[in-house]
Structure 1
Amino acid sequence: MPLPLNLAMIQEARKRLAGVIHPTPLDHSTTFSRLTGSEVYFKLENLQKTGSFKIRGAYNKIMSLTLEERQRGVIAASAGNHAQGVACAATRAGIPSTVVMPEGAPISKVMATRGYGARVILAGGGYDEAFDYARQMQKETGATLVHGFDDPLVAAGQGTIGLELLDELPDLDAVLVPVGGGGLIAGIAVAIKSLKPRVRVIGIQSRGAPAVYLSLKGNCRQQLAATATIADGISVRRPGEFTLEVIRRYVDDVLLVDDEEIARAILMLLERSKIVVEGAGAVVLAALLHGHLSLPGAKVALVLSGGNIDVNILSIIIERGLVKSGRITRLRTVVTDQPGSLQRLLGVLAAVRANVISVNHDRIKPQVPLKQAEVELLLETSDVEHVGRVMAALSREGYRVERI
């Protein structure tokens, strides 16, 4: 059966979006090309208006409404990026918008959505509950529901990324796309496969939210009982109905990455390329970095779909990454409780070039013998090997050291 999405719809969406969205850069990365063996190009949708690709689909849908539909306004459900895209697009079109967000949505995304002009309602513990609430409101008010992914006009807007990729890199070999509900990859796949069928289109999901992956494997649309991933932008329990069919027909493969791999990709993009992405945007690099697919010598575009990462999550990722790489180390030892003992300990650390960030000296802890004190040290070190040298030096001086 014919699909409700085709190349002509995506080309029409591109005309609507002209002058509204940023045609985002396609940036070649020498660093990640060397690390992966592919010629890596980043499609920087994290630099898009509202911080993600979502405004493309939202604006295309909203500008397709009739005058009567516009007067009744639009409503959407989202944990963040689609919310901001709908709010921005509706305000630009002069249309009232209501966005239902989960009660646990990051405050930064709630405030940003309000800042773009939407009325925000917090309801439900996750996206699915928020969507059910929005659906009920839509029935009561007559507003048009702008779905986050399961809408051909929304997917057509997202598909304009595929047209830009082929314009910017005509000899593209493959594109890696984050997958949640499937709207982004559906649009990109139709655009690219319609014009250059040889280009591989590969979707990447989080192992903690593998709805599309399992649906393809089981040959029917699956609904997850729950999701658990730092990639909240693709944390969807059930894929779209029409988007899943597009994926079946046009997408070459869908792969999974875990949260540790996603976190490492976020940190490496920040440190090596000075690019800030959210978890959903980092899954594509995580797949390539950790060998889930190998494309030696191929020109590969990675769609970094958004940059709206919560700063608290980012700080945790940075700290965990520094600990795992041995650049921050926490040690515990015991010293005699007398003048000069702490100075002697610090002298050993200085001799092996360990920089002291903080010291906690506790002489009254019940587990510590009398006339002794427990010392916890937070150190800046160079790498895991340096940590080993630090601990060896302390052991040689008679300290019993525990890494914590």
Structure 2
Amino acid sequence: MNPTLPLSLFKSAQRNLTGRIRRTPQMDIVLDTGKTVTAKLENLQISGSFKIRGALNTVLSLQSETLAKGLVTASGGNHGLGVATAGAMTGASTTIYLPRNTPALKVAKLKKIATNVIVDGDVWDDANNLALEDARKTGKTYVHPFADESVIAGQGTLSLEILQDNPDIDIMLVAIGGGGLISGVASAAKLIKPGIEIIGVEAVGAPTLKNSLDAGKLVALEKIDTKANTLAPRQSAQVNFDIISKNVDQIVLVSDEEMQASAHWLWQNCGLGLELSAAAAIAALRFGAFTPPKNKKVCAIICGSGPDGH
């Protein structure tokens, strides 16, 4: 896939999704550092996170005979919920493979929506191998959580919304798991506003893309050591690495403790119920992993809901 995606791809995805998902609000938050940051509240999105954007954009591109064979994917939870919701919206059966580190609440939620939920493998990469094998054997369509053009285009609709509603944003902070969200957000944002700065945020215990950028090539982590399981594949994909190399200005790291404290702070001060990964961008600002210039307007993407701050 070409690491330079056209703006038309993101605008087409936005047309596909309009009226089917929520145009989530943006809210200004004054952090305890004194910095005011605009938060894009994807925790209020249907399915509970931004993942419905890429999943539904992909599923809507499929022919009816392909949909009839069903969908299959592997997920840390949120992408699975996105695919299961997209399947329910289009009448397609869905099989979701989850690693054993998936939170029990997400497993329970998925079992109410998906046709079939299978919990197996230590981390996402293991569950993903099982999903790929299922697709090979059954003819189901495999929906990749991050290394797919239509998924990246769907996630990039976030930038269109953010900059349409708030064109003065100078810097965006984006959590990174496999890299699908930041690939879409960074690509679309730079097409609309070339001078915008994109800061990725990874967990200290899963620096998949930071290690890859530092090495100048895609690398696989030997182990994962974070409770933020949606930020924790051992390896990204070449397409995401290429897009991120071209469009992301910096990647910073935050600890589980910093994400936990920030999720708690956001619950106590803003009434936002988030999972650890959704507090990553705010954690980077609160604990100094990234300090923006005082005159720059910052947007932090709050990527998913959950009970981790309660």
Give the TM-score, by structure 1 length. Answer: 0.74
Alignment of 1:275-354 (within 5 A): 275-295=272-292, 296-309=294-307, 314=308
Local SS of the residue matching 1:76: strand
- Matches of 1:255 and 1:106 in 2, distance apart? 25
Residues 39, 298 of structure 1: 8 Å contact kept:
no
- Matches of 1:4 and 1:188 in 2, distance apart? 13
Residue 17 of structure 2 is matched in structure 1 by: 17
- Matches of 2:73 and 2:100 in 1, distance apart? 15
* 1:227-253 CA-partner distances (Å, limit 9, x unpaired): 111211111110122011100001111
Worse overlay, 103-112 or 146-155: 103-112
1:195 aligns with 2:171: no
Residues 21, 49 of structure 1: 8 Å contact kept:
yes
Gaps of 5+ in 2: none
Residue 20 of structure 1 aligns with an amino acid whose one-letter code is R
Residue 174 of structure 1 is matched in structure 2 by: 171
Residues 96, 114 of structure 2: 8 Å contact kept:
no
Residue 237 of structure 1 is matched in structure 2 by: 234
Local SS of the residue matching 1:198: coil
Residues 74, 145 of structure 1: 8 Å contact kept:
yes
Corresponding residue to 1:79 among 58, 65, 76: 76
**Per the alignment, do residues 245 and 90 of structure 1 end up closer, same or farther by CA in structure 2, a change over 3 Å counting?**
same
Shift of 1:104: 4.1
**Per the alignment, do residues 2 and 155 of structure 1 end up closer, same or farther by CA in structure 2, a change over 3 Å counting?**
closer
Local SS of the residue matching 2:262: helix
Residue 119 of structure 1 is matched in structure 2 by: 116
Shift of 1:4: 6.6
1:249 aligns with 2:246: yes
* 1:13-70 CA-partner distances (Å, limit 9, x unpaired): 11111111110000011x31xx335330110001111111001000001111123321
Give the TM-score, by structure 2 length. Answer: 0.96
- Matches of 1:69 and 1:133 in 2, distance apart? 20
Alignment of 1:1-400 (within 5 A): 2-3=2-3, 5-29=5-29, 31-32=30-31, 35-295=32-292, 296-309=294-307, 314=308
- Matches of 1:253 and 1:105 in 2, distance apart? 28
- Matches of 1:2 and 1:120 in 2, distance apart? 33
Residue 175 of structure 2 aligns with an amino acid whose one-letter code is P
* 1:324-363 CA-partner distances (Å, limit 9, x unpaired): xxxxxxxxxxxxxxxxxxxxxxxxxxxxxxxxxxxxxxxx
- Matches of 1:3 and 1:65 in 2, distance apart? 23
Two-structure CA RMSD over aligned residues (Å): 1.4
Gaps of 5+ in 1: 319-404
- Matches of 1:112 and 1:2 in 2, distance apart? 36
Shift of 1:91: 1.0
- Matches of 2:11 and 2:240 in 1, distance apart? 18
- Matches of 1:130 and 1:166 in 2, distance apart? 36
Per chain length, whose mean CA-contact separation is higher, i.e. which structure has more relative contact order (CA < 8 Å, sep 6+)? 2
Work out the number of aligned pairs and report it.
309
Q: After the TM superposition, which parts of structure 1 deviate over 2 Å for at least 4 consecutive aligned residues?
A: 1-6, 35-39, 103-107
* 1:297-321 CA-partner distances (Å, limit 9, x unpaired): 3211000100134xxxx3xx66xxx
Rg bigger for which structure?
A: 1
* 1:173-227 CA-partner distances (Å, limit 9, x unpaired): 1100000111000101111100101111110000000010000000010101111
Residue 7 of structure 2 aligns with an amino acid whose one-letter code is L
Residue 28 of structure 1 aligns with an amino acid whose one-letter code is D
Residue 105 of structure 1 aligns with an amino acid whose one-letter code is T
Local SS of the residue matching 1:220: coil
* 1:141-163 CA-partner distances (Å, limit 9, x unpaired): 01111011111110110000000
Residues 274, 304 of structure 2: 8 Å contact kept:
yes
Shift of 1:89: 0.4
